[in-house]
Structure 1
Amino acid sequence: MQLRLFTCEVLYSGMGIPRSPGAIVLSDELVVATGSPEELQQMYPQAVFAGHHKVIGPQVANAHTHLDLSTMPFMEKPYTAWIQEVIRFSRSGQRNLDAALQGLSEIAPKLGDIVTEESVMEFLLQQEGLQGVAYWEVIGLNPEHADKIFQDTTARLRKWRKMERPNGMKVGLSPHTPHTVSGKLMKLLAQFAQAEGFPMQIHVAEHPAELEFHTTGTGPLAESIEGFSGLKTREILGHDNGPTVVEHLDLLGVLQARPTLIHVVNVTESDIQRIAAAGCPVITCPRSNHALECGTFQWPVFARYGVEIGIGTDSKASGQTLNVLDEIRFAQELYGEEVPLRSLVRAAVKGNYRILGLQVPFLRRGEPVQNVHFWEF
Structure 2
Amino acid sequence: MVDTIRNVLIPVENGYDTVDVQVVDNAIAAISPGCDATNSAIDGKNKLLLPGFVNAHTHSSEMWQRGIMSVFPLELWLAELYDFAPLDIEKVYLSALGTAVETLLSGGTTVVDHLVLIPGKELETIASAVRAYKEVGIRAFVAPLIQDESLSAGIPSGESEQIHEPYFRSTQATLEIISEAVKQFHRPDEGMYIATAPTGIQLCSDALFTGCIELSEKYDLCRHSHLLETKAQEKLAQEKYGCSAVEHLKRIGYLSDRTSLAHCVHLTEADITILAETKSTVVHNPLSNLRLGSGIAPILKYRQAGINVTFGCDGASSNDSQDLLEAIKIGSILHNVTDSDYQHWITPRQAVEMASLGGAKALNMTSELGSLSVGKKADLVMYDLTSLSLLPRTDPIGLLVLGRPTNVVNSVWVNGKQIVADGKVKTIDVDNLRQELFNHSQWQTTRKSQTVAQIEAHYRTVMNLS
Q: Compute the TM-score of the two structures, normalised by the length of structure 2.
A: 0.62
How far did 1:93 drift?
Answer: 5.7
Query: How far apart in 2 are the matches of 1:174 and 1:313?
Result: 17
Structure 1 spans left out of the alignment, 5+ residues: 13-18, 34-48, 218-236
How far did 1:330 drift?
Answer: 1.3
Alignment CA distance shift 1:144-1:280 (3 Å): farther
Query: How far apart in 1 are the matches of 2:206 and 2:83?
Result: 26
- Equivalent residue, structure 1, for 2:180: 159
1:193 equivalenced with 2:221 (yes/no): no
Partner secondary structure for residue 254 of structure 1? coil
Q: Which amino acid aligns with 2:72?
A: K
Query: How far apart in 2 are the matches of 1:203 and 1:318?
Result: 14
Alignment CA distance shift 1:346-1:120 (3 Å): farther
How far did 1:269 drift?
Answer: 1.2
Q: Which amino acid aligns with 2:175?
A: T
- With 172-181 and 189-198 compared, the bigger mean Cα shift is at 189-198
Alignment CA distance shift 1:362-1:96 (3 Å): closer
1:90 equivalenced with 2:85 (yes/no): yes
Show CA shifts across 1:281-331 (max 9, x none).
121111111111111111121112211112110011111221211111212
Q: Which amino acid aligns with 1:274?
A: I
**From 170, 192, 208, the counterpart of 2:193:** 170
RMSD over aligned CA atoms reads 3.4
Query: How far apart in 2 are the matches of 1:145 and 1:277?
Result: 36
- Equivalent residue, structure 2, for 1:36: none
How far did 1:133 drift?
Answer: 1.1
How far did 1:50 drift?
Answer: 5.0
Structure 2 spans left out of the alignment, 5+ residues: 23-29, 34-43, 118-122, 151-163, 337-341, 384-396, 406-466
Q: Which amino acid aligns with 2:268?
A: T
Query: How far apart in 1 are the matches of 2:194 and 2:59?
Result: 15
- Equivalent residue, structure 2, for 1:319: 319
Q: Which amino acid aligns with 1:80?
A: E
Query: How far apart in 2 are the matches of 1:340 and 1:26?
Result: 24
- Equivalent residue, structure 2, for 1:220: none
- With 134-143 and 285-294 compared, the bigger mean Cα shift is at 134-143
- Equivalent residue, structure 2, for 1:227: none
Show CA shifts across 1:112-157 (max 9, x none).
10122333421343415232311111111279979x7333233223
Show CA shifts across 1:195-248 (max 9, x none).
442211010000111111222x4xxxxxxxxxxxxxxxxxxx4x4xx3112122
- Equivalent residue, structure 1, for 2:56: 63
- Equivalent residue, structure 2, for 1:355: 362
Aligned pairs for 1:29-40 within 5 A: 31-32=31-32
Partner secondary structure for residue 363 of structure 1? coil
Aligned pairs for 1:300-319 within 5 A: 300-319=300-319
- Equivalent residue, structure 2, for 1:125: 130
Higher relative contact order (CA 8 A, sep 6+): 1
Q: Compute the TM-score of the two structures, normalised by the length of structure 1.
A: 0.75
1:179 equivalenced with 2:187 (yes/no): no
1:77 equivalenced with 2:72 (yes/no): yes
Query: How far apart in 1 are the matches of 2:375 and 2:165?
Result: 58
How far did 1:169 drift?
Answer: 1.0
Query: How far apart in 1 are the matches of 2:312 and 2:319?
Result: 9
Show CA shifts across 1:259-288 (max 9, x none).
211111101111010111112112111111
Alignment CA distance shift 1:245-1:361 (3 Å): closer
Give the share of equivalent positions with the same residue, in percent: 21
Query: How far apart in 1 are the matches of 2:177 and 2:75?
Result: 30
How far did 1:62 drift?
Answer: 0.9
Query: How far apart in 2 are the matches of 1:139 and 1:2?
Result: 46
How far did 1:183 drift?
Answer: 2.7
- Equivalent residue, structure 2, for 1:289: 289
Show CA shifts across 1:9-56 (max 9, x none).
xx37xxxxxx4x6212134856426xxxxxxxxxxxxxxx95486xx5
Check the 8 A contact 1:134/1:170 in 2, yes or no. Answer: yes
Q: Which amino acid aligns with 2:128?
A: F
